[in-house]
Amino acid sequence: MADPRLAGQIAFLVEADKLKTILRRTPLSDASRLENSAEHSWHLALAAIVLAEYAPADVDRLRVLELVTVHDLVEIDAGDTFAYDAGELETKADRERAAADRVFGLLPAGQATRVRALWEEFEAQETIEARVANALDRLQALLLNAASGGGSWGTHHVTRAQILRRMLPIERTLPALWPLVLETIDQFSAAGVIQA
Amino acid sequence: MADPRLAGQIAFLVEADKLKTILRRTPLSDASRLENSAEHSWHLALAAIVLAEYAPADVDRLRVLELVTVHDLVEIDAGDTFAYDAGELETKADRERAAADRVFGLLPAGQATRVRALWEEFEAQETIEARVANALDRLQALLLNAASGGGSWGTHHVTRAQILRRMLPIERTLPALWPLVLETIDQFSAAGVIQA
């Protein structure tokens, strides 16, 4: 390809295809297999569109969609870090920073900085758009775990306190959805899927 | 759930999860398996972000991301229609309209109309945003077929003329990317993967 700028962009897009092979701990709603991080990111985008009315009115909706689209790309090298594994969480930042250097570095220089900044914005959790994207990320996992009959909660013996802590960004940023979260956790606690 | 509006939105999001089980004819870049329509939709969103500079400057970028996110949802009922199968294409419109009635109908009434309108906008190909989304859809399949060594072109004995016709939306809407398309088709024609 003659144009090195376009060549870098295409190389990045082809490399990004690997996110479809990174498996999360959450199953699909029919429990047929684990979800991968690419289709998960799409599901967040759909949730951002459908649940937009529960976010603060001044949220930049384009930014939220950009954030959810790129937020997991570093997993191509760093893998998916399980939310309830303290050991994995400890090394997460270093692994993901090295991954960001390589993956976003495939893009032309100026664009690499801009796209990487989306990932950094999501990670920093300082903007309202990053907080909405993060709250949707937590909610989507809850919906799939519930739909699949318990999902990673049962498989990995997660406690009610751990889940409540994990879901707190929803209470903070999408408070209208918090009763649904509590109701779901109560239901799976009562059924014995979620440990006390 | 007490709130029927939210209950409909959640039912829609859980139903949408099934798009992850709808397989396309295009393989992943590593040829390990076929791509599903949910991860494909995510890949289009990423391409829309990374290749935005090749689209007309007045394109509404939020709208493009919304369109690519919802454009394949009807496949949950209608299945993926292979671009090079004339028989399938003949029944596509009817199958997809019935699917749209059911799938978007899960949403609260006003929102069902708005989200369905995104799908209809993509299908009608009248707005520049729909044309950009469609051109990206064609390009992404080309990139995966090329990366996987020929993909559905070889498996399904597609001809050069069929592929060129299929790729025309790229020439029209993202003309700066057309040389890349021709170069790729030439390469796989010379290698005997694409039939004359």
Give the pTM: 0.97
Question: Which among B28, B42, B40 is positioned nearest to B149, based on CA atoms?
Answer: B28
**What's the pLDDT tens digit per position in A153-192?**
988 889 999 999 999 999 999 999 999 999 999 999 999 9
Residue A87 has pLDDT above 90, yes or no: no
**What's the pLDDT tens digit per position in B168-193?**
999 999 999 999 999 999 999 999 99
Q: List CB contacts of A25: < 8 A, sequence separation 6 or more.
A: A34, A80, A82, A83, A151, A152, A155, A156
**What's the pLDDT tens digit per position in B88-145?**
888 999 999 999 999 999 999 999 999 999 999 999 999 999 999 999 999 999 999 9
157-196 in chain B: CB under 8 A from chain A: 176-177, 179-180, 183
Distance (Å, rounded) from C-alpha A53 to C-alpha B41? Answer: 23
111-140 in chain B: CB under 8 A from chain A: 111, 115, 140
Residue A2 has pLDDT above 80, yes or no: no
**What's the pLDDT tens digit per position in A23-55?**
999 999 999 999 999 999 999 999 999 999 999
Residue B1 has pLDDT above 80, yes or no: no
Distance (Å, rounded) from C-alpha B119 to C-alpha B116? Answer: 5
pLDDT at residue B167 in the model: 98
Residue A1 has pLDDT above 80, yes or no: no
pLDDT at residue B83 in the model: 85
Average pLDDT, chain B: 96
pLDDT at residue A100 in the model: 97
**What's the pLDDT tens digit per position in A121-164?**
999 999 999 999 999 999 999 999 999 999 999 888 899 999 99
17-46 in chain A: CB under 8 A from chain B: 17-21, 28-30, 32, 35-36, 38-39, 41-43, 45-46
pLDDT at residue B87 in the model: 86
**CB pairs under 8 A, 24+ apart, for A8-13?**
A8/A106, A8/A107, A8/A108, A9/A107, A9/A108, A9/A111, A9/B50, A9/B51, A10/B143, A10/B180, A11/A106, A12/A103, A12/A104, A12/A106, A12/A107, A12/B50, A13/B43, A13/B46, A13/B47, A13/B50, A13/B51, A13/B140, A13/B143
The nearest CA of chain B is from the CA of A189 a distance in Å of 17
Residues in chain B within 8 Å Cβ distance of A38: 38-39, 42-43
pLDDT at residue B43 in the model: 98
SS (H, E, C) chain A: CCCHHHHHHHHHHHHHHHHHHCEEEEECCCCCCEEEHHHHHHHHHHHHHHCHHHCCCCCCHHHHHHHHHHCCCCHHHHCCCCCCCHHHHHHHHHHHHHHHHHHHCCCCHHHHHHHHHHHHHHHHCCCHHHHHHHHHHHHHHHHHHHHCCCHHHHHCCCEHHHHHHHHHHHHHHCHHHHHHHHHHHHHHHHCCCCEC
Residue A83 has pLDDT above 90, yes or no: no
